[in-house]
Amino acid sequence: MPNKLDDKTNPEWTASDFARARPGSKLPEELRAFFPKTRGTQKAPTKIPVSIRLSPEVVDHFRATGPGWQKRIDDILKKAVGL
């Protein structure tokens, strides 16, 4: 199984990365225009954040299907338990 720290899609930040980091609100307006607006806090959260361990094959399969892969896992789990 690959080491979590070897994930090329999410490399570990270095001290230099942290030193250069700035909050999004501090970016110039012309750069902020490239970032999507966020929805903010949900009034009534509909999902519960959890941590789950899945096999690399399962994660790779779903990630390969593109954005929304976590929702697709949720949909399949709901179907499996009869919801």
- 5-14: pLDDT as tens digits: 567 788 889 9
How many helices and strands in the chain, by DSSP H and E?
4, 0
* Whether 65 contacts 72, CB under 8 Å: yes
User: Can you give the residue ranges of every domain in the chain?
Assistant: 9-80
Q: What is the pLDDT of residue 4?
A: 57
Percentage of residues of the chain with pLDDT beyond 90: 48
What are the tokens at 40? Answer: 């903010």
Question: Looking at per-residue confidence, does 75 or 27 come out higher?
Answer: 75
Question: Looking at per-residue confidence, does 75 or 37 come out higher?
Answer: 75
Is this model's pTM higher than 0.95 or not?
no
pLDDT per residue as tens digits for the range 52-63:
999 999 999 999
Residue 61 buriedness (CB in 10 A; 0-12 / 13-18 / 19+)? middle
Comparing CA positions, the residue from 44, 48, 26 lying closest to residue 35 is 26
